[in-house]
Structure 1
Amino acid sequence: MTVTQASAVVACPACGTRNRVPQAREGRVRCASCHADLPWLVSADDATFDEAVARSSLPVLVDVWAPWCGPCRAIAPVVEQLATENAGRLKVVKLNADESPGVAARHQVTGIPTLLFYAGGRETSRTVGAAPAQQLRDWVGTSLQAVSQR
């Protein structure tokens, strides 16, 4: 999966068609060919964070990371897999803390990696540090379940 600032190019898990996925829009993103839900993984920065996260109609997992951070690089494949596993139910936004110090400070991120879970434009939970893949899956599952019970 290729992540860029304004959009990402994602191969459809169902048919393999490459699709451009926008940073922000209403609803879910779907394959232009087979209409399957696509993994929604994009990057944001200080200027685009609110549009990408706070205004999303889907719950959002925000990965606050930095390129020099070994634990951040260790969980990156898990975060990407969570986007694929939860296609149509979750949007994943990557936020480079070095390039977006305003958002990191606003959300009082003092350690990385930090994963923030948003629903309805508000942070509902967070976890700090590199956790095993299953623990991250469980945390995301619990967070999604809490949102669906509202």
Structure 2
Amino acid sequence: MTDSLHIVCPHCHTTNRVKRADLANAPACGSCHQALFTKHPVGLDEAAFDRHISRSQIPVLVDFWAPWCGPCLQMAPAYEQAAAQLEPEVRVAKVNTEEAQSLGARFNIRSIPTLALFVNGREVARQPGAMSATDIVRWTRSHMP
């Protein structure tokens, strides 16, 4: 296990090298100087999604959602709460499938909301349907390496 990890900034999407021991100490981006972890889901377009999935060395939890989806909107506060509990061990992100339709197609998203957990660039688990914050955290941690 290496002493440092690559973490992609949620603001400027620059890849940063962060010591494991510093993850809990509110590390900042070396490029834009903003916090690498905000305790809130980061909205990703296709380019940012690919960067976070391929370059982050922490798991990335993605909520595939749409603004017209009632269950998606109902789950949004729970997803916010889960982000506060999961960071910095997990990057918590959202993909609006209306704006990033190609990502929905690429990952064969058939119902929303759908949570997908990516580790080392690969999808390792998927869960369709709205969940509570407790269930999101439990599900995510149960599928982490």
Same fold (TM over 0.5): yes
Aligned pair in 2 of structure 1 residues 99, 131: CA closer, same or farther (>3 Å)?
A: same
- For the 8 Å contact 2:81–2:133, the answer to whether it is kept is no
| Map 1:1-150 → 2, pairs under 5 A | 21-26=11-16, 27=18, 28=23, 30=26, 38-39=38-39, 41-144=41-144, 147=145
Structure 2 SS opposite 1:93: strand
C-alpha separation in 1, matches of 2:52 and 2:40:
11
CA positional deviation for 1:88 = 1.5
Contact 1:39 1:91 in 2 (8 A): no
The AA in structure 2 aligned to 1:25 is T
Render the CA deviation track for 1:74-124: whole Å, top value 9, x for unaligned.
111111111111222010111000000111101000110010001111100
Q: Deviations over 1:29-79 (max 9, x none)?
A: 8256xx9x6426311112321012222111000010000111101111111
Q: CA RMSD of the aligned region, Å?
A: 2.5
Letter of the aligned partner of 1:61 in structure 2? L
Q: Which residue of 2 aligns with 1:16?
A: none
Unaligned runs of 5+ in 2: 1-8, 29-34
Unaligned runs of 5+ in 1: 1-6, 9-20
* Identical counterparts, % of pairs: 35
Between the aligned partners of 1:67 and 1:121, the Cα distance in structure 2 is: 26
Q: Counterpart amino acid of 2:15?
A: R
Structure 2 length-normalised TM: 0.74
Q: How many residues align?
A: 125
